[in-house]
Each structure stands twice: as structure tokens, then as C-alpha cells.
Structure 1
């Protein structure tokens, strides 16, 4: 470690490699006078070992996690501090949870929380050899315990930084859109990145595909909150732009390569599904499945969640997709805030109808995620009758997902929200409506 000014240790977990690779992509092309080294800690023990090996060199340990993982990662942090530490070690948490709950993050044991997009903040920290003074995008406590907030980091054009880390040979699905105009009340994305679309340009996407092919990679996948929104700033898809982009990617990755669009890790909004769009996917892409976001079978709940579509659009999307030869996976969230018995039955009816069509349900339990308008809602409550019906669909092979585990996460998130109340927030989500058979 002789001659180094700074060591960056990443608590490197599979669940958050996308975010880390974006940070390293920015760092890899950044010119700085700071002499630094990057280490990857793929376990608690390996992370601690890297910290110990840094010796007296200033060490910045980078963490990124989603809200459901916050409690488990706080335990990991405590273990690592017991195994390795010192006055020159700073633990910095980033990602959607740290952005939404910086005080909670600091109280859980991290030294600093990164607020907002992390690329420019990390570059400034590297230039400053880890000193946070005067750097935007951070929250931390000074020597007297006072909370210091430096505001959100400046948002940059997606074309400014690579979407993966060429210098470290770390690749992932390519982020082509950041932010989302729909601002659904349960989703963290628009409230971290702003409720607007920021797209990577066609030329920049093609550059990434060319880099992948040059390194022998053959599969192109995309990260986007809503796949068919690429290239537009409105609610209407621009299919001409989509076709130009997919055609360029297909050409770029070569005859042995494959392009995947509208499948994991992205999805398509139901009202965007059309025969023309599906046939573009079939023409240029390798995926035989598409993910459609429905979330509820109740128009009342969908309206309250600000989804921007109704149940009929979901049914139509599934039917069109199946007719065009795709396996349709439909995201649904059970235990949404304010649901009454009729809303629950509407969702179960939709799930059964979609399963009968040949679609699969990707089941979730509602989690009150920090940073969202529904942060203070009660945790998803899935009643026994609903659980039995979901289990029946699962045994048919018509439903999958980690909805049971999410029920536990939801309870923990709600307890954390109670411990860190937001003034002026009401827990009333939907108006009380009598069940239909009670009228």
C-alpha cells in the first residue's frame, strides 16, 4: 500500500453490482491526482481483510443497499468494525435507502450517507482523498455530533459516464433510462432520481454494445423503469426510436449475440403493449418472455397509487402478448394500502384470469419503502384467504416470487418509519369504501 493516498473497499454483493459498476465506470475515466486502489469485498471477512491490509492509508468503505436489506447490512457493518477498523476508516452508505433515510442510516452505524446519484460525489471524494468537506451529496455528523447535510449531488447526463466498469472488467445490464415520469406512490425510483426521464443516447448505447462485443460478451440487457419509454419524454412510446435502438444493438452485438428487451431487469407498462411493439421485440430480441407491471386488480387502488392505467389495460397486454407468442409475467402487489375486501377479491380475480390465459403472476407484498409517498403506510397485510389462493396459483406454476419474505421486510420497514416519524404525514391512504355486498 506504499505510495497510496486512498483505498476504496467495496462491500461487493450480487444484489447491488449494477450501482457499483456505474460508480466505477465514472471513476475509471476520471483524471485525478489522488493515488488510489479499489478492492472488492465479497464477504464480511474479505471486506475486513482489505481494510486491515490498507494499514494507515485512508480507507473509504463503500456500501450500497435497498431498504429491505438495511437491517441485515447494519449487522454486517458491526461485524466488520469488530474485525477491522481505525481512525482512518470511513464507512459510506449509498443507494435509495441512504438517500431516503440519511439520519436512520447514520444512526445504524455508517459514518456518512450519500444522498442522490453517487457518481459526482464519489469523484469529488476521490479528488479530496476521502475528505467530505465542501462536497455535495452527503450527510454526516461533525466532531460535536451535529448533523451536516450538503444537499443532493448534481445530476449529470447519462452519457457523461460509462454504464459499467471497463477498467475493472465489470459488466452488467446497461442503464438506458434514469428517473420515471409516472411517480407511482410505492416506488423509490422517481423520488431518488426525479420524476422525469433521462435517457442514454443511441450513439452512447451503441458504444457500450461495441465495447461488450470486443470483450467477447454476447448478451445485451437493459436497466430502465419502463422499457418502451426510452427515447420519449411523454407517456406515449416512440416505436421508431425503439426500433432504431434495438436494430443498432442487434447489429453491434453481432450474429452470435443476443438482445433482451422488456424482460428482467426491466418491464413494460401495460398500456404500452401493442402488436407493433411486441413484433419489434420479436424481430430484434431473443427473449420469449415479457414482464408487465400491473400491481393491482382494483381500479380504485391503481388510481390511488397513481399508476396511470387500469385493469383493462393489464388484461389486454397479457392477451396480446400471449397471442404474439410471448410468456407474460405480470407483477402484482398484495396488501396495498387502503385495500378493502372488494379490492382484494378484484386482485385475486385478475390473477386467476391471467393465469387462465397462460400468464404467470410475479407476486409481491406491499412494503412501505422510504422516500416514497407511501413510506408511512402500514405494512402489507395479506389475509389467510388470500394466502391460500396465492398458494394454489403457485402450485399450478402460475405464480412465483418472494412475497412471503417481503411480508417480514414490510413489518421491519414500518417499525423503522415509526421510529423516525415525518412531521405532517398521515397514515390515511385511501378513503373508506363499503364492500359492494354491504350496500
Structure 2
């Protein structure tokens, strides 16, 4: 009999979190005998639980998801529990970290709060018993919520960024945390409002392993690409060049390096001729993503973006002049956004599209774990929708902004059901100036 079976509810939409957990696990020495099973559907997860229970002392089903997926996956976890009782279902990721009680009430048995690598290793050492393992929340026999405290926060290079043993690869996380602490983003509030960077030699180790296995494309996960190596708001181009040069050398002449494109972006004020020349010199992407978010200076200030509207225009002009295709992230329906400010965002979108940029449109979602968690959902009036559709029809705008309107409404309803003490709309600065 094996001590522990870990069943990963493995979805293509969310794989990175599992890959880094497996990367940490494969190096970890433990007395616990365990197996890892990948379940790519609800039915395969149900079958895996049924198969594992007779031969394992404990079975854990691990879940990772973002807030917009929480409601649908809650239905799934409860269906699996009804069809195959006996396993312990553990939810991780940004939603579980931000809303552990809501997660437990939705049907999961345990919520992992914070960074998952040290928590999983301690949980494996404990044979899957959550009692006393830091970084967890669960209910005891009386129904009271037990919180086991914060997990240890370690340097980013402590654990591998993907798994060799299970052959699960992904973009390499080079920075965790973010000093900017934008009010709509969960990253700085889950990982702290400071940067932790993976050292260049550690990134190179990952690139070398990729090349050995025939992988040829190197991409990066970072909240702000040009902040690599920096401790503050100033870009460190020397550190960026050292990183990119090493990665280009490591992946070899047949490989490709992508930087400042999906799944990362460049802040507008960090776009400079020097920065773009580094991308051109070492990388293969002909496009970059610029995070703009709004065409209203007041909304940008309220969101604590740390840059202005003019810097957005300047970034797009520079990028186009240097021969890049520019994708600009914009969020419509931000908290407290007036009709005039919404029109300013739409006007900026048109202006940037005329320069040759493509607008990646989003609808504001009040995400758990952010200062704007209790804000009303993003709303786009019919006239705005018509204008956005026109941009889309000419190929100048793309994104899932319409679907995000529905997600935003569900998140707002969930937030009302789980109010945070001591929060008010006044504190959130939701109302536009009079």
C-alpha cells in the first residue's frame, strides 16, 4: 500500500502552478511513498479517486484555478465528491489564497493559502494530513475554520520552474511579486509588493535542460518584463541584457527567445529605444505587450498604475517606430469611471489603433485579494459596446471582454456574500470627482 496518491485536476487553462509544484516535489526527499496522477477531466478524476482509495492510506485531489473559474469548478468538485467519496480535495491558486472560507464553503476540504511549493512539500511529508501544515485553511470537527499560518517565503530560485521527472514544461518564471501594487491586480497581494527574481544562472539551467530535450522556444512569466533584476520602479537594462544574452546562448542557434510578449508585458514608462533594441538583438518576437489599462489620468492614479496617459502614447509610438507590432492592454468599466473617462479610454484606443496598435480589451473584474475586490463589476454602456465592436471588426481590438462582464457580475455577487470587515467604498475611492 502506498502512503499517498496525489491526483492533479489537470486543466490546460491552468498548468503552470502544477508544474512548479512538481518541480519542487521531484527534488524533495521524503519518507512518504507517493504517486502522482494527472486527471484531465471530471470523469477521469472520479475514476482516479476510486482506483486509488483501496490502495492508498490517503488520497488528495489537487486543484488550481483563477477566480472566474471558481463557480464552475465548485459544481465539479461536489459532483466528484458525491460520485467518489473518501478523498481530500485541496484548492490552491490565487482564488483559494484570497478567499479561503468561500473556497471551503464551495465544497473543497482544504484551501492552500499563499505560495504552494513549501506547503505541498510539508503536506507530502505529513502523508497528506493537513493538521499543522503551514499555509492551509480547513474546518475542524466542530466546523470552525482552522488557519495554520503563512507558509515560508523563499528565494525564487529555491525550486525548479518546471518538472523534468514528469516532463511538464512551461514559460520560466523570472520574477514573482510586484512593487506597483495596482488595485485591480492580485499578484502583489498574493506574493508581496516587492520583486523576487530568479538568478540568471538558474534561468540558464532551465534553458539548458530545455535544449537537451529538444525544446526550442523560451518564454518568461513576469508581471513586468523590464523590471527583471530591479528592486524598485527603475528598469535594470544591464540585468535584462545579461538574462537575454545567456538565454539566447543557451537555447542555441535553432532556438528562439521571446521577451515582453505573451505571457508577460512591458510597462509603458519602461518602453525606450534602448529596451527595444535589447529585445531586437536577443529575441525573436516581433510584437510586445504594453499595459495601459485606461485613457483617463484620474483612473490611472486611482488604480495606482504609476504612469500617465502620455507615457502610453509615447510607448506605442516608439514601439511602432522600432518595427514592433504593439498590443495594448486596456480595461473598460474601471471603478468610479465616469462617462467622460470611459470616452477618454475609447478615444485613446482609437488613437493607438490608428498608429497601428491592437487593443487587447478587458472588462474590469473585482478580483478577490485585491483592494478593489468589493468594487461593483465593470459595466460597459451600449454606446461603448457599439464603438468597441467597430474596433473589433476592423481587426484593431480583440479579447474576451464580453465574457468577462459575466464573470465580473458573479464575482461581485460572491463578494457581497462574504463581506470583508472594515472596508467601504470611500476607502476604495470608487466615486468619480464631482
Length-normalised TM-score, structure 1:
0.97
SS in structure 2 at match of 1:363: strand
Q: Which segment is superposed worse, 233-242 or 403-412?
A: 233-242
Superimposed CA distance per residue, residues 337-392 of structure 1 (whole angstroms, 9 cap, x where no aligned partner)? 00111101110110000000000000000000001000000000100111001000
Question: What are structure 1's unaligned runs of at least 5 residues?
Answer: 435-439
Task: Determine whether 1:68 maps to 2:68.
Answer: yes
Displacement after TM superposition at 1:431 (Å): 4.1
SS in structure 2 at match of 1:252: helix
Aligned pairs for 1:9-24 within 5 A: 9-24=7-22
How far, CA to CA, are the matches of 2:4 and 2:147 in structure 1?
A: 23
Which residue does the alignment assign to 2:420?
422
How far, CA to CA, are the matches of 1:318 and 1:140 in structure 2?
A: 48
Q: Which segment is superposed worse, 167-176 or 46-55?
A: 46-55
How far, CA to CA, are the matches of 2:136 and 2:432 in structure 1?
A: 41
Which residue does the alignment assign to 2:80?
80
Displacement after TM superposition at 1:55 (Å): 2.4
Task: Give the aligned length.
Answer: 430
Please provide the CA RMSD for this pair.
0.8
Task: Determine whether 1:99 maps to 2:94.
Answer: no
Superimposed CA distance per residue, residues 152-208 of structure 1 (whole angstroms, 9 cap, x where no aligned partner)? 211111111000011101000000000000000000000000000000001100000
Contact 1:9 1:59 in 2 (8 A): yes
Match of 1:165 among 163, 166, 172: 163
Task: Determine whether 1:348 maps to 2:323.
Answer: no
Which residue does the alignment assign to 2:324?
326
How far, CA to CA, are the matches of 1:393 and 1:83 in structure 2?
A: 47
Which residue does the alignment assign to 1:121?
119
Which residue does the alignment assign to 1:142?
140
Superimposed CA distance per residue, residues 225-267 of structure 1 (whole angstroms, 9 cap, x where no aligned partner)? 0000000101111111111110100000000000000000000
How far, CA to CA, are the matches of 1:396 and 1:312 in structure 2?
A: 25
Length-normalised TM-score, structure 2:
0.98
Superimposed CA distance per residue, residues 59-91 of structure 1 (whole angstroms, 9 cap, x where no aligned partner)? 0100000001100110111221122122xx100
Contact 2:375 2:430 in 1 (8 A): no
Displacement after TM superposition at 1:427 (Å): 2.2
Which residue does the alignment assign to 2:366?
368
Superimposed CA distance per residue, residues 123-156 of structure 1 (whole angstroms, 9 cap, x where no aligned partner)? 0010010011211100000111111011221111
How far, CA to CA, are the matches of 2:125 and 2:103 in structure 1?
A: 25
SS in structure 1 at match of 2:74: helix
How far, CA to CA, are the matches of 1:65 and 1:430 in structure 2?
A: 28
Which residue does the alignment assign to 2:405?
407
Contact 1:378 1:427 in 2 (8 A): no
Displacement after TM superposition at 1:433 (Å): 2.7
Which residue does the alignment assign to 1:269?
267
